[in-house]
Amino acid sequence: MWSLKSRLMYGMIGGITVLLIGFDLIVYNTISHAMFKQFDSSLQSAANMMSASVEQDNDKLGFELEVEMMPEFTGGKRPAYYELWRDDGTVIRKSPSLGSDDLVRFTVKDKSHTFKSFVMKNGRPVRVVAINFQPKIENDSNAAYKSQSFVLIIARDTGKLLEQLRFLKYLLLSVSAGLLALAYAVARIVVKQGLSPLSAVAAQINNIRENNLKSRITGENLPDEILPIQKQLNSLLERLEASFERERAFNANVAHELRTPLAGIRSIIDVTLTRNRNAAEYRSALSETLEIINNMQAMIDKLRELAKIEKGQLLVVAKLVKPAELVNKCWRLFSDKAAAAEIVFENLIDTNLVCKSDQAGLSIIFSNLLDNAAEYTNRSGKILVTSREIDSGIEMIFENTGNQLTEQQTKAVFDCFWQGDISRSSTGVHFGLGLALVKQLVELLGGNVRAEASKDMFSIHIYL
């Protein structure tokens, strides 16, 4: 593929070439037309003058002027020629310069001048004018000859004219070639200077490494056409920087979330091995260890689900689903924990409401939202699920009391491993992946999700 420099160079030179060719053709044709017009005008004047001097006396024709004595018709370096013939083609008179040759015969319209160019037998190029006329009758008694018409042809050598046109052609070609060479040199300089901002941008990009993604491409002295590229590249760098930061934060969070339960398992084992214990104590230690392992397994399962969604490996099968029934089914997993905390649960979704979506995906979404609500609702608090139809589909709202998050913290609830300090210290079993998984799944199903926090209420709004 051609470089941008080559495209600009060839485009400019090609355009200039086309313009020069067009200019040369216009100039050449205009001058050529003017020169031939002037030449033809001279021929026409000579033909009018000679035809006007022709007299007829009975069946004899003669010129009032001594045409044969004119130098141009007798010969010379660039002679002229004339020939007079009847309508039937019979030659009556011709110039001495023709010798034994004849001028070309062609049809002439009445009382009009006809011009043609041709090459004589001796190789001389000529321009010819022919006129059909009726000569003057010397004696009016010769009425029988009044209706007779004759053809007069006058030819002049066009060698000098053609030489001038050839010179004009070579002059235009030479000037055009010189202008093209000059245009090429100027175009190289202009294109090089014009592309120098791109080279400067490329040099800045080349200096950016994974350890200095905070660097940005400066927009100083950049032309307006490159500024959008600079802005988009900086935007890309911001996204890359954020992605790398998320990756580093993700690695740190995974390490933390794995170290904490592993430390718990190690502590239980260390304490258990300090002395001999009975079967019930060993069973209790193993039960605590199994609970920690189950929590770790849940975290790994959620990470796997997130990875599948990001890779596009999660299969979506859309079918008609009743959200009210599905919410009640998912709530059964958390009803005992809610009852122990005296939490009231209300599902106010219309039982007749139907939506077309992936049931398995909605089950994961509802389960994570209800699990999150059951975990963070205050004792004797309330969880409320409602819905309403909107223009683009339906909106479902999961609300719970006991909110302790600020408005700024609410913006981060969908980030992986994000947990409020209070939430982290109060549970010890949540890893900050549930709402991140909810967001990914909702977007996979073609919807969107947002969180709101008021003085005492926290709510998640899902739009499908």
Q: What is residue 237's three-state secondary structure? A: helix
What's the Cα-to-Cα distance from 19 to each of 5, 10, 16, 93, 178, rounded to whole Å?
21, 14, 5, 52, 14
What is the C-alpha separation between 450 and 438, in angstroms, rounded? 10
- Predicted local confidence at residue 417, as pLDDT: 67
- Predicted local confidence at residue 111, as pLDDT: 65
Q: Is 365 exposed, middle or buried (0-12, 13-18, 19+ CB in 10 A)?
A: buried
Q: C-alpha angle with apex 47: 137 to 88, nearest 5 degrees? A: 60
Averaging pLDDT over each range in 48-57, 250-259, 367-376, which range is the top one? 367-376
Contact criterion met (CB below 8 Å) for 115 and 40: yes
pLDDT cut 70: percent of the chain above it: 89
- In the block, residue with structure tokens 């963070």: 376
**pLDDT (tens digit, 9 = 90+) per residue, 287-344?**
988 888 887 787 777 777 777 777 776 777 888 999 999 999 999 988 988 999 999 9
- Predicted local confidence at residue 94, as pLDDT: 83
Say whether pLDDT at 246 is over 80: no
H or E element at residue 113 = strand 113-119
**How far apart are the two ends of the chain, measured CA to CA in Å?**
46
Mean pLDDT of the chain: 83
Long-range contacts of 334-337 (CB under 8 A, 24+ apart): 334/370, 334/371, 334/374, 337/374
CA 152 to the chain's CA centroid: 68
Q: Which two tokens stand for residue 34?
A: 């003017």
Say whether pLDDT at 431 is over 70: no
Q: Which of 190, 224, 217 is nearest to 202 (CA)?
A: 217
Contacts of 311 (CB under 8 A, 6+ apart): none
- Predicted local confidence at residue 148, as pLDDT: 73
The domains of the chain, with CATH numbers, are 4-165 (3.30.450), 210-313 (1.10.287), 315-463 (3.30.565.10)
**pLDDT (tens digit, 9 = 90+) per residue, 115-151?**
889 888 888 899 999 888 877 776 655 555 565 778 8
What is the C-alpha separation between 435 and 418, in angstroms, rounded? 9
This prediction's pTM:
0.52
- Predicted local confidence at residue 317, as pLDDT: 82
Q: Is 1 exposed, middle or buried (0-12, 13-18, 19+ CB in 10 A)?
A: exposed
What is the C-alpha separation between 84 and 92, in angstroms, rounded? 5
Q: Which of 450, 431, 453 is nearest to 442 (CA)?
A: 450
Dihedral pair phi/psi, residue 343, rounded to 5°: -90, 135
CB atoms inside a 10 Å sphere around CB 307: 11
Higher pLDDT, 327 or 432: 327
Task: Tell me what the mean pLDDT of segment 434-444 comes to.
Answer: 85
What is the C-alpha separation between 452 and 459, in angstroms, rounded? 5
Sign of CA dihedral 10, 14, 15, 17: positive
